[in-house]
């Protein structure tokens, strides 16, 4: 196998047909990789299935990135968005945007106040978490309380699934 080849066969190979059993959705999950039933009360089986899914996901993500890179290399022009055509299909390739070193731009912004508005803009304002937490627990003059209240209204709570990191295997 050469460096440009990813072996997904082990992750995608079909296991023998699982028995057709209607799972009790309140107590079992069906593993889409191999069709086995996983008891939601068996933490070790859940961890094993999570590891298998993570390995498959990682391999498929690497494969997808290799395909993106290869197709991207076929877009040879200077435009940000280009099309690459095969015999049967066309794909639109959008190259990533350039980035700027924020520390250098901040230095330029502070060093040239008379020229900065010509070429630079401020695009993101962040909140100092520690100071903000203290401020939310402080009562002060109306303008201070309104200031903190307005910042609080900008807060968006986290959304999505938790991150799972497997820390260790327990040996008997």
Name the residue ranges covered by the structural domains of the chain.
Answer: 9-94, 102-153
Contact status, residue 56 vs residue 66, Cβ threshold 8 Å: no
**Which tens digits make up the pLDDT trace of 51-95?**
999 999 999 999 999 998 999 898 888 888 889 888 888 989 998
pLDDT, one tens digit per residue, over 103-162 is: 898 899 899 888 888 888 888 778 898 999 999 999 999 999 999 999 889 888 777 766
Q: Is 149 helix (H, G, I), strand (E, B) or coil?
A: helix
The residue with tokens 């690459």 is 84
| Alpha-carbon span 70 to 17, nearest angstrom | 36
* Widest Cα–Cα separation across the chain: 75
pLDDT, position 158: 73
Radius of gyration of the chain (CA): 26
| Of 1, 4, 7, 5, the residue nearest 56 (C-alpha) | 7
């Amino acid at each position: 196998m050469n460096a440009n080849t990813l072996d997904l066969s082990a992750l995608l190979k079909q296991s023998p047909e699982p028995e057709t059993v209607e799972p009790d959705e309140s107590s079992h999950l069906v593993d889409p990789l191999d069709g086995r039933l996983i008891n939601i009360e068996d933490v070790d089986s859940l961890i094993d299935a999570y590891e298998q899914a993570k390995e498959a996901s990682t391999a498929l993500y690497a494969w997808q990135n290799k395909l993106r890179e290869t197709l991207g290399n076929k877009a040879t022009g200077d435009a940000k968005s280009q099309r690459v055509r095969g015999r049967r299909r066309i794909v639109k390739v959008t190259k990533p945007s350039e980035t700027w070193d924020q520390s250098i731009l901040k230095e330029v912004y502070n060093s040239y106040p008379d020229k900065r508005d010509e070429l630079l803009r401020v695009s993101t304002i962040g909140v100092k978490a520690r100071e903000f937490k203290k401020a939310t627990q402080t009562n002060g003059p109306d303008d201070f309380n309104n200031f903190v209240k307005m910042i609080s209204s900008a807060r968006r709570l986290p959304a999505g699934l938790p991150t799972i990191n497997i820390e260790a295997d327990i040996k008997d």
